[in-house]
Amino acid sequence: MIARVALADAARRLEAVSDTPRLDAELLMAHAMGCSRDALLLGRLGDAVPEAFAALVARRMGHEPIAYITGRRAFWTIELEVGPGVLVPRPDSETLIEAAVAHFGSGAPARILDLGTGPGTLLLAALAQWPDAQGLGIDASDVALGYAARNARALKLADRATFRRGNWGEGIDGAFDLILCNPPYIGTNEQLPPDVRDYEPGEALFAGADGLDDYRVLMPQISALLADGGVALVEIGSLQADAVAALASDAGRAATLYYDLGERPRALALR
C-alpha cells in the first residue's frame, strides 16, 4: 500500500478518537518515514508505507497523545522533546509569549523566570525570542527537568537557561523582568478526554476542588519576584479569570486578561 491510500484509511479510523484525524495520520506517517510532515506531503505520498505505521496508528487509537508517540511537539518558534511524565505543550499557551512580546515591544526582558517549566516550554520559547536574555526554570518533577535540560541543549540555549527543582517561587532570590507560569488549574472532579486523563501527569493538571489551589500559593510569590516595569503572565482556565484576578489583586497586582486564538480567556498579565 502507498502512503496516500494508507493516510486516507488511517484518518477514517482516527475519527473515532481524534478531532484532527487527518493531521494525526500525517504526523504518524511522517514519523514512521523519518521525515517532516511537509516533506511527506510535498514528495512522499507515493512511497510505500513503512511497517511501523500500523503500530503507531494503533497506539493513537488507544488515545495515546500524538506528542508522546512521536516524542516531539512544536511550540512558538521551537520544537521540544516530550514524553510520558510531562505536560504536552498546547498552542493555547503561546498566548503567554504573544502577550510578553506585546508588553516589551522593541525592548526585551533581561531575566526570565518560568515557574512549573515542564519540558522547558515557555522558558525556552522566550529565550529563543530574546537572544540576550537569561532564564531560570523551576519544576517539582525530576522527569520534567530532565526533558527541559535536553531541550535546552538541543536548541543551543543551555548557556542561557538554568533549571532547578523547587516548589514554585519558594527560595528564589532577585527580581525578574518576565515571569511565566502555566500551573495546574483543573478541578479534581472535572472531566477530561482520555488522551489527557490517562496519559499526562495528574500533578501538572489538577489543583484542588476548584482548580485554584496553586494560584493561591503563586500570587504572593509572583508579586514579590517581579521587577519594576516587568510583567508576569499566568495561564488560566477559561472560567477562572475573575477568581485569579482577585487573588492577584490581594497580592497587590493589577491583572489584564488575554484571549487565545479560540477567543477563550487564557492568560492574565500581572503588573
Q: Are 47 and 3 in contact (CB under 8 A)?
A: yes
> What phi and psi values does residue 19 have, to the nearest 5 degrees?
-80, -10
The model carries a pTM of: 0.95
- Cell 482556565, residue located: 237
pLDDT in tens, 138-175: 999 999 999 999 999 999 999 999 999 999 999 999 89
pLDDT in tens, 74-84: 999 999 999 99
Q: Domain map of the chain by residue range?
A: 3-62, 85-270
- Domain covering 85-270, topology: Rossmann fold (3.40.50)
**CB atoms closer than 10 angstroms to residue 204:** 21
CA distance 22 to 8: 8
CA distance 219 to 249: 9
When pLDDT is cut at 50, 70 and 90, the band that residue 53 belongs to is very high
Give the pairing of strands 134-139 and 161-165: parallel
Mean pLDDT of 93-101: 98
